[in-house]
Amino acid sequence: MKVKEKQFDLEYINKYASQLTIGNGFFGIRGSQEEDYRNQVRGMFIAGVYNRPLGTESAELVNLPDVVKADIKIDGEHFSLESMKVLTYERALDLKTGELKRCTVVEISNGKKVQVVTSRVADQHNQQQVALKVAITPLFADCQIEIVTGIDGQQTNFGTQQLVEKELRVFGDDLLGASYQTTESNIGIGISARFNKKGVFQAKNRRITAAFSEMVKKNTTFTLEKVVVLSTSLQHEKPFEQSVAQARQSESYTKILEQSKTYWSNFWRDHRVTIESTASFDQFALDFAAYHLQIMTPRNDASVSVGAKGLTGEGYKGHVFWDTEIFILPFFLYQFPDIAKNLLTYRYDRLAGARQKARKHHYQGALFPWESASTGNEETPKFAALNIKTGTRQEVASAAAEHHIVADIAYAVQEYMQATDDQLFLETKGKALVHETAAFWLSRAVKVNDRLEIHQVIGPDEYTEYIDNNAYTNYLAYYNVSLAVKYQVGDSLFLKECQTFLEQLYLPKANEEQLIPQDDTYLSKPIIDLSLYKERPGSQSILLDYARSEVNELQVSKQADLVMLLYLLPTYFSQSIVAKNLRYYENKTIHDSSLSKAIHAIEACRIQDSEWAYQLFQEACLIDLGSEPHTSDDGLHAASLGALWMTVIFGFAGIQTTDGQLTISPQLPENWESMTFPFVWKNHSLFFELTKEQVIVKKDSEEPLPIFYAGTQYQLKKKLIFNWRNESCVS
């Protein structure tokens, strides 16, 4: 269970930095090398620490002062994997322990050989702490070792300075600290570092450092340990003082590592999806996804959510999209329902901003921002990258028209309710979310002759802008309003309006070829050969050949759109409609968004094309783990990691939870012998074991729980065994 980097290559330095992130839901620290390299982007992020730099319209997740950097000199020569002769090299993130460790032997210019081992681990017990270690062993001759490390306030978000330095201090001879404040959001940040040795301190140019120097005998090891404590005014009144006080009592590297090992061993024991298969990469990709989902998501804090890159990089400025409710939340809902509740509470607490956005655009109810940060206001940048030839900027239309996020949030509320029956949440937050979102759709629809239509939207497919009656949006809006009726939210007049909306809203139906139009005009647009672009998914290479406005006029989808609808509302469409539309739209979809392939894979399972599903799943695994350089430089694709888990559970295991009924209908890939996974459903912890012959479901209590298999309802007490071949069941 290791994510390994076998050789050092500058081309991959930032991709590995994302992959090798350590963290604990409170903070994330990119897996950057300790020493500096050209173009290396370091990164340390604390969930919820956003700032809106002067002159910009969107808040950014602040890239905090660096604590990882260590300048190492051996006999006066700078340690560098570029300039030194590297004899051995391996860097690995051990998912079993949470430790990132690099082990290398280098030969310096005077011929001496030295082993340099650096490691770091996030504290899983005290989430404010991270432990770092540098251990240097001269192999055949004594060496002079010097290390300079500390807290580096020169760190920026791609050049944008987010922090004012308030205080730099040293305490005794083994502790230093720095205090900062974000320039606009006024969040106080305290960072302290305590060493296991006495250092010589210096503060200069927004850096505070400790220097350590020692003549080290051959075959003995010089070990420097550093424990860093991170504190913010979001949690503590005096973050600097709190970080210093805690650093004074910090534990050793070994203790923090032990705690991390215990945490991860419990996590894997209770939450691992296991696959017995000839393809070990499948298991690895799932472990990778689970590890990252776990460290990017706040464990017990409803004031923050998960950005599109988690805490692994600066991409998308740390903003929260529909990715969270639709792609990330399921992993938690069916394993840690309280975390799913927190993610929904984050939206509930931002209803004011959503209402304000709705009013600004003359709608009722709540129009959630397409991109969200801390305030609940719209954070989507107005413009995308500058076209340096024309000097013009392409406007980002999502904030103005990608309104499906409203229904996506309501959908997630219902997913939560079905899985938990949490009446307290429903009464205190769920109903308000359903009411306000439904009210938005009532005001968003327009009357055309005798029916209601939804115009000028962008569906999930962001290559098709400002279209009318996007099927995904219309159906999800319908579902959203039907929830308002189900839960009887609002007064009788509102409920009457909801009924009328449900009766009159136009829901695009399948045409004579069984195709549901993605929107009013999609199917009448020209079709082009996409094979070249489909070979490089995620690269948006079509935009090198066509202007965006031209792509808009073609049957080209960036990502799952109509297929996304089939996935979210499975009972609305027959198997033959799913089959027909999946094949049609897959052919028109480039998968230029990472949110796409896995959804197609799930739908391929539903039409029992497990070979195709498996191929799509494997391709989805490569989104962050493929061999192309630079694809994840600015962070991992959080939604795609969530979607890998979803593919295995909702696709291959065939779990469905629609209408509050738990159904299983597995579809294991040819080369998977078996799989097991935990699943929390209606406050019961279930455990599934799937083989080619049977499905075994276990639970702890005797209390009967309905579960559907092959169209029949069974009562699960402690154990049920379904036999695939003859569709029989034994309990």
Residue (410 or 595) nearer to ligand IFM, CB:
595
* Amino acid (1-letter code) at residue 186: N
Kindly state the smallest distance separating residue 510's Cβ from ligand IFM, in Å. 25
- From 77, 462, 465, 603, active-site residue: 462
Strand partners, 93: 3, 100
Phi/psi for 233 (5° steps) reads -75, -5
As measured in angstroms, the least distance from the Cβ of 322 to ligand IFM is 6
List the 44-46 sheet strands across, edge first. Answer: 22-23, 27-29, 44-46
Instruction: Return the exposure string of 650-661: e unless at least 16 CB atoms fall within 10 Å of the residue's CB, then b.
Output: bbbbbbbbeeee
Helices (H) and strands (E) in the chain, counts: 22, 33
Q: How far is the CB of 474 from ligand IFM (least distance, A)?
A: 18
Please say which residue, 247 or 308, places its beta carbon nearer to ligand IFM. 308
Q: How far apart are CA 427 and CA 431, in angstroms?
A: 6
The tokens for 418 are 């079905």
Contact 140, 92 (CB under 8 A): no
Max CA pair span of the chain: 89
Where do we find the tokens 């769920």?
430
Q: Which of 287, 323 has the CB closer to ligand IFM? A: 323
Residue type for position 550:
E
Q: What is the C-alpha to C-alpha distance for residues 84 and 52, in angstroms, rounded to an integer?
A: 41
Q: How far apart are CA 150 and CA 152, in angstroms?
A: 6
Least Å from the CB of residue 160 to ligand IFM: 21
3-class SS at 374? coil
Task: Transcribe 494-513 into DSSP letters.
Answer: HHHHHHHHHHHB------TT
* Least distance (Å) between residue 119 CB and ligand IFM: 32
CB of 312 to ligand IFM, least distance (A): 13
Q: Which of 166, 180, 156, 189 lies closest to 60, judged by CA? A: 156
Q: Is 482 left (phi over 0), alpha (psi -120 to 50) or beta?
A: alpha
681 is in an annotated binding site: no
Closer residue to ligand IFM (CB): 310 or 517: 310
Q: Cβ closer to ligand IFM: 430 or 460?
A: 460
Chain positions contacting ligand IFM, by CB under 6 A: 308, 316, 321-323, 460, 462, 593, 595, 639
Other beta carbons within 10 angstroms of residue 214's beta carbon come to: 14
User: Going edge to edge, which strands form the sheet with 207-216?
Assistant: 77-78, 70-74, 143-152, 207-216, 200-204
* Nearest residue (CB) to ligand IFM, 35 versus 402: 402
Cβ-proximal residue to ligand IFM, closest one: 321
Q: CB nearer to ligand IFM: give 178 or 308.
A: 308
Of 614, 630, 453, 462, the closest CA to residue 539 belongs to 630
323 is in an annotated binding site: yes
Structural tokens at position 544: 């090198």
Least separation in angstroms between residue 617's CB and ligand IFM is 19
C-alpha to C-alpha distance for 485 and 494, rounded to whole angstroms: 9
Active-site annotation holds for 462: yes
Question: In the complex, what is the shortest distance from the CB of residue 332 to ligand IFM, in angstroms, rounded to a whole number?
Answer: 18
Nearer to ligand IFM, 133 or 591 (CB): 591
Contacts of 687 (CB under 8 A, 6+ apart): 676, 677, 678, 679, 697, 698, 699
Pair type for strands 663-664 and 705-709: parallel
Binding residues for substrate: 322-323, 558-559
Q: Which residues belong to the active site?
A: 462
